[in-house]
Amino acid sequence: MPRNEPAARGVTPPSGGHLPIDGDVDGGLALRWSARLTLTRRILAVNIFALAMLAGGFFYLDSYRARLVEERLSQAASEARMLAEALSAVPPERRLSLAAAIGAPMQTRVRVYDPAGAVVLDSWRGAAERYGLRDPDAEPWQKDAARTLDSGIDWVVDAEKPERFAEPPQDRLAAWPEALESRETGDAVTRLRRAPDQTPVISAAVPIAGGGTLLTVVNQRDITRIVRAERTRTAIVIGVTVLVSILLSLFLARTIVRPLRRLARAAQRVRLGRAREVVVPRLPSRRDEIGLLARAVSDMTQALRQRIDSIEAFAADVTHELKNPLASLRSAVDTLAMVKDPALQAQLLDVIGDDVRRLDRLITDIAEASRVDAELARARFEPIDLGVLIAGLIAAQEARNGDSGIRLAFARPHLGTATVNGDESRLMRAFDNLIDNAMSFSEPGGLVQIGATRDGDQVIVHVQDEGPGVRAEQREAIFRRFHSERPDGEAFGKHSGLGLAIAKAIVEGHDGSISVRDRDDAQSGARFEIRLPVATV
């Protein structure tokens, strides 16, 4: 019994159908500004940029310093008021000792000016140390580096730079603007300056009851020390975070970029086609998107190789099948020129006609077989009721072959119970080929039975005839291309041997399967069975 060889095995379409490929090959994922950067550099850039935003807070410790200075200015004003009240409450001869006792622990210099502006009291008069000021030239290089860093940060944040502190050549009230302002306003006035080593110097002036003005001056080095300590801690945290972020970024880039490079190299080898079998890494241990990509590329490569092998085999089969009728045609044409007998000429013309029709049939079926996979890949699947489709096919067959004497019986299912997703024209061709095949092996008056039923999540369609059946060893071979084993007495070349191969390619293109076995009722004949997934909503 004739049956034909399978079409090329390739990637089967999803049950939901095939959608046309969008013209936008990038799918809206094209990169513009970052297209020249490698993936590793992009990951590093993104993470470092986020850390740079965090590091920006490092510079805004200046606001912390400003609040600290403002607090110290307020504190200096309060202390000056209390000291002025204390000095007003003691006899003049005790004021110097009181001012020295109060100012010494804080290294604060206390001065009192009379209404004429002359100094009448100086807590550090005759003392060698002045405010604890330090000479920057006598300090180690680490201090110079710290001051340079302070200056750089102040420049970045555009911090206001106080005037430089210097003792006036003549120590009078007029040399201190804050003291003059305090005498005029009658309230405490503070002022911020910077020492030679860039540390803040805070002065406060306040009027004294009974006349005169009190001035306190102190070098607040601890403000600089506190701010530097905070910056150091912040810098350590940011530095460790940057290091960890870079290491994690490199690790992330390594886990992403290395497998992608392996896949790219394998794809390049596939494109060049220099190796018959290219092993694409499947990365089975990875359960992320990279692993899914690797397995998808591997499956695609295998399907591509199968498709190429199938095309090569198909081309070889086509060449072989075309040679036979062409050789017969050429032999008949060459002989026709030498034969003079009209009867022999008519016989040769019949042979030529048969060969031409055979070639036409072959070319038509070959073109159909070669288009099946490509058209299914582009087809948009829609829900199809196989009961309605097969009923239409049977009506067309009966109208076309009504005089053959072969009866067709269809056990039609209820409407909507045998619905699948697919391409209607292709499914019609598959079932038409099966019915044609069954009829060709049926004797006049024979019965071809067709049925369609639903079994769980599958629709089963069977076509059975009353012919000689298919031997067990031939049940795979009949679906191969150009495999033809026809009934006795049938004219040679009437069938191309592609009908069942086309049917198999169409069914598998719909995620289905096709098989052949003996009839269930023990009668002679073959039973072809197609299984297709039920249409999903």
Over residues 491-515, the pLDDT tens digits come to 544 555 677 888 888 898 888 999 9
The pLDDT-based confidence of 23 (bands split at 50, 70, 90) is very low
pLDDT of 531 higher than 90: yes
Higher pLDDT, 117 or 277: 117
392, 520: one domain: yes
pLDDT at 129: 56
In angstroms, rounded to a whole number, what is the distance separating the alpha carbons of residues 103 and 101?
Answer: 6
What is the SS3 assignment for 496?
coil
The pLDDT-based confidence of 22 (bands split at 50, 70, 90) is very low
pLDDT at 497: 67
What is the DSSP annotation of 34-87?
TTTS-HHHHHHHHHHHHHHHHHHHHHTHHHHHHHHHHHHHHHHHHHHHHHHHHH
In angstroms, rounded to a whole number, what is the distance separating the alpha carbons of residues 241 and 173?
Answer: 53
In angstroms, rounded to a whole number, what is the distance separating the alpha carbons of residues 209 and 305?
Answer: 104
190, 332: one domain: no
Q: Would 248 be classed as within a structural domain?
A: no
The pLDDT-based confidence of 181 (bands split at 50, 70, 90) is very high
316, 221: one domain: no
DSSP state of 534: B
Q: Are 284 and 291 in contact (CB under 8 A)?
A: yes
The pLDDT-based confidence of 4 (bands split at 50, 70, 90) is very low
Examine the fold and report which residue of 231, 264, 284 is the final residue of a domain before the chain moves on. Answer: 231
pLDDT of 54 higher than 70: no
In this structure, which long-range contacts are made by residues 45-48, counting pairs with CB atoms below 8 Å and at least 24 apart in sequence?
47/245, 47/246, 47/248, 47/249, 48/242, 48/245, 48/246, 48/249
Q: Are 390 and 450 in contact (CB under 8 A)?
A: yes
Q: Would 298 be classed as within a structural domain?
A: no
Of the candidate ranges 10-24, 127-141, 156-170, the one whose mean pLDDT is the lowest: 10-24
pLDDT at 369: 66
**Which of these, 441, 440, 429, lies nearest to 502 by C-alpha position?**
429
| pLDDT, tens digit (0-9, with 9 covering 90-100), for 217-244 | 998 888 888 888 887 887 787 788 778 8
363, 216: one domain: no
In angstroms, rounded to a whole number, what is the distance separating the alpha carbons of residues 396 and 430?
Answer: 15
221, 355: one domain: no
pLDDT, mean of residues 187-207 = 90
pLDDT of 353 higher than 70: yes
Contacting residues for 367 by C-beta, under 8 A, at least 6 apart? none
pLDDT of 32 higher than 60: no
The pLDDT-based confidence of 26 (bands split at 50, 70, 90) is very low
Q: Would 174 be classed as within a structural domain?
A: yes
386, 487: one domain: yes
The pLDDT-based confidence of 11 (bands split at 50, 70, 90) is very low
Q: Are 76 and 218 in contact (CB under 8 A)?
A: yes
- Return the percentage of the chain with pLDDT > 70, whole number: 78
316, 203: one domain: no
Examine the fold and report which residue of 200, 231, 262 is the final residue of a domain before the chain moves on. Answer: 231
Query: How many other CB atoms sit within 10 Å of the CB of residue 46?
Result: 12
Q: Would 203 be classed as within a structural domain?
A: yes
Q: Would 103 be classed as within a structural domain?
A: yes
| pLDDT, tens digit (0-9, with 9 covering 90-100), for 413-470 | 888 889 999 888 889 888 988 888 888 888 888 889 999 999 889 999 999 988 888 8
339, 217: one domain: no
In angstroms, rounded to a whole number, what is the distance separating the alpha carbons of residues 425 and 7?
Answer: 18
DSSP state of 163: P
In angstroms, rounded to a whole number, what is the distance separating the alpha carbons of residues 209 and 85?
Answer: 8
Of the candidate ranges 101-115, 268-282, 485-499, 522-536, the one whose mean pLDDT is the lowest: 485-499
205, 328: one domain: no
| pLDDT, tens digit (0-9, with 9 covering 90-100), for 291-342 | 778 888 888 777 777 777 777 766 776 676 677 678 878 888 888 878 888 8
| Residue 223 belongs to domain with CATH number | 3.30.450.20
Contacting residues for 107 by C-beta, under 8 A, at least 6 apart? 129, 131, 132, 218, 219
State both tokens at 159.
């911090």
Q: Is the sign of the CA dihedral 285, 287, 288, 293 positive or negative?
A: positive
| Residue 348 belongs to domain with CATH number | 3.30.565.10
Q: Are 391 and 418 in contact (CB under 8 A)?
A: no
| pLDDT, tens digit (0-9, with 9 covering 90-100), for 65-114 | 888 889 999 999 999 999 888 888 888 778 888 887 777 777 888 989 98
pLDDT of 256 higher than 70: yes
Q: Are 43 and 249 in contact (CB under 8 A)?
A: yes
Q: Which structural domain, as residue segments, surrounds residue 373?
A: 311-533
Place of tokens 């986020």: 50
Examine the fold and report which residue of 190, 212, 231 is the final residue of a domain before the chain moves on. Answer: 231
Q: Are 213 and 206 in contact (CB under 8 A)?
A: yes
Q: Which element (helix H / strand E) includes 517? A: strand 513-518
Look over the chain and give the mean of its residue pLDDT values, rounded to a whole number. 78
Q: Would 227 be classed as within a structural domain?
A: yes
Q: Would 180 be classed as within a structural domain?
A: yes
Query: How many other CB atoms sit within 10 Å of the CB of residue 48?
Result: 15
Please give the single-letter amino acid code of residue 438. A
Place of tokens 């948009």: 380
In angstroms, rounded to a whole number, what is the distance separating the alpha carbons of residues 506 and 512?
Answer: 9
Q: What are the CA-CA distances from residue 190 to residues 146, 174, 288 (Å)?
A: 27, 15, 65
Q: Is the sign of the CA dihedral 283, 284, 289, 294 positive or negative?
A: positive
- Going along 196-295, which residue ranges are E strands? 200-207, 213-219
The pLDDT-based confidence of 532 (bands split at 50, 70, 90) is very high
65, 167: one domain: yes
225, 324: one domain: no
Query: How many other CB atoms sit within 10 Å of the CB of residue 337?
Result: 7
Q: Would 262 be classed as within a structural domain?
A: no
Measured CA angle at 382 (ends 379, 384), to 5 deg: 120
Query: How many domains is the chain built from?
Result: 2
Place of tokens 């003996």: 518
What is the SS3 assignment for 193?
strand
Measured CA angle at 118 (ends 112, 119), to 5 deg: 40
pLDDT at 24: 44
State both tokens at 77.
């004003």
pLDDT at 57: 60
**Which of these, 268, 307, 260, lies nearest to 9 by C-alpha position?**
307
